[in-house]
């Protein structure tokens, strides 16, 4: 179970680091400036090489890992299981949505 918590903390931390810039940068742009998948791809690639991305990933991993080691079961569920599963579900859902849209649009 300890390996699962560490792996889930790492996955959720990377998804937070990748999705946070996407939501923060895309929201003020509005509809007029976001054109196609190019904007999403540029945001992902720009955030991966950014030092802020890795700083956010390390900090969120540390927070998730510390929350997974809490003694109280209620706090552990509230501060670890709920956020990490929600973030992982959101991240994999967005990835599946973009993959299916790319496959559909590729065929024309």
Burial class (CB in 10 A: 0-12, 13-18, 19+), 64: buried
List, for residues 50-70, the tens digit of each pLDDT value.
888 889 999 999 999 999 999
DSSP 39-96: HHHHHHHHHHSSHHHHHHHHHHHHHHHHHHT-S-HHHHIIIIIHHHHHHHHHHHHHHH
Q: What gap in Å lies between CA 53 and CA 60, rounded to an integer?
A: 11
Task: Give percent of the chain with pLDDT exceeding 70.
Answer: 79
Residue 18 pLDDT class (50, 70, 90 cuts): confident
Task: Tell me if 5 sits within 8 A of 34, measured CB to CB.
Answer: no
pLDDT at 72: 95
């Amino acid at each position: 179970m300890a390996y699962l918590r560490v792996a889930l903390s790492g996955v959720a931390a990377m998804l937070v680091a990748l999705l946070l810039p996407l939501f923060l940068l895309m929201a003020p742009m509005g509809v007029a400036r976001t054109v196609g998948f190019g904007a999403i791809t540029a945001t992902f690639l720009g955030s991966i090489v950014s030092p802020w991305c890795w700083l956010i990933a390390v900090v969120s991993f540390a927070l998730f890992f510390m929350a997974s080691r809490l003694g109280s079961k209620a706090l552990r569920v509230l501060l670890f299981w709920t956020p990490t599963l929600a973030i992982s579900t959101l991240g994999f859902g967005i990835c599946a949505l973009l993959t299916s849209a790319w496959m559909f649009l590729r065929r024309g």
